[in-house]
Amino acid sequence: MAIMHSTVLVVDDDPHIRDLLTFALQKAGLATREAADGEAALADIALFVPSLVVLDINMPRMDGIETCRRIRAQSDLPVLFLSSRDDEIDRILGMELGADDYVTKPFSPREVVARIAAILRRISRNPTPPPTPAQFAYGGLGLDADGWRATWRNVEVPLTVTEFSIVRTLAAAPHRVFTRDAIIDRVHGPGFAMTDRTIDSHVRNLRAKFALLGGADVIETRAGLGYQLGPCLGAPGTSHG
């Protein structure tokens, strides 16, 4: 299987946890590397490009949130977060940054290995779908897929990673209606635990952000079906500045 040729980078400032996970991963047939903080992790990723990163949130020098943000600015490398507390804010922020999964300490090494294997299998079965071209323009909407930037009539719209991923998914097939499940599959992969209500919330936030600049018609709702890219021509009576 593809996962047997994968390398996992374990990033945690606690050497005991690194040893624990490294042993469990190697026992499962996965190659491993280690880093004690975010700066060391980024340097290792630049040189060796692992298949997945296990990333502790609470670390000195550079925490896991900032490390993930920098990883996401460069690639879609899978990330599994570790946290020392079951904090809903951490969980939400981690997923907004594009984390693939989240485990709270104390944890079972076998559970972490199982979750890592599930992510790697999902990636091998579902390679990243061809999204939009690197530069995409449709009406007033502009997307820079490499820079993760969205614009409305050349004005940048500040989006979270998940919000940008939803727009990019819809823009990949402007005339297709995407069900909420299809959007979740494209953004996070099949089997990811996200509710329809969460997708609706992201879409509301997206519409509000674009509407501030006059782009209230970027996303259309198809009753009983899902969402699709709107005409992106600008709604009358809204600001264009």
Q: Which two tokens stand for residue 32?
A: 């491993």
pLDDT at 213: 93
pLDDT at 21: 95
Q: Which two tokens stand for residue 26?
A: 């190697």
pLDDT at 126: 53
pLDDT at 152: 95
pLDDT at 77: 84
Residue extents of the structural domains in the chain: 2-125, 135-229
pLDDT at 106: 86
CATH class of 135-229: mainly alpha
Taking alpha carbons only, the member of 33, 40, 74 closest to residue 54 is 33
pLDDT at 131: 46
pLDDT means per 10 residues, the chain with 241 residues, are 75 95 93 93 89 90 87 81 69 68 87 90 61 75 88 93 89 84 74 70 93 93 88 63 38
Taking alpha carbons only, the member of 122, 156, 106 closest to residue 52 is 122
Contact between 72 and 161 under an 8 Å Cβ cutoff? The reply is: yes
> Which residues, in sequence order, are CB contacts of 36 under 8 Å at separation 6+?
11, 12, 13, 15, 18, 59
pLDDT at 240: 39
Cis peptide before 106 (omega within 30 of 0): yes
Contact between 129 and 172 under an 8 Å Cβ cutoff? The reply is: yes
Distance CA 29, CA 63 (A): 29
Taking alpha carbons only, the member of 79, 100, 111, 101 closest to residue 9 is 79
pLDDT at 211: 93
Q: What's CA 140's distance to the chain center, in Å?
A: 25
Give the β-pairing of 141-144 and 149-152: antiparallel
CATH class of 2-125: alpha beta
Q: What is the 3-state secondary structure (H, E, C) of the chain?
A: CHHHHCEEEEECCCHHHHHHHHHHHHHCCCEEEEECCHHHHHHHHHHHCCCEEEEECCCCCCCHHHHHHHHHHHCCCCEEEEECCCCHHHHHHHHHCCCCEEEECCCCHHHHHHHHHHHHHHHHHCCCCCCCCCEEEECCEEEECCCCEEEECCEEECCCHHHHHHHHHHHHCCCCCECHHHHHHHHHCCCCCCCHHHHHHHHHHHHHHHHCCCCCCCEEEECCCEEEECCCCCCCCCCCC
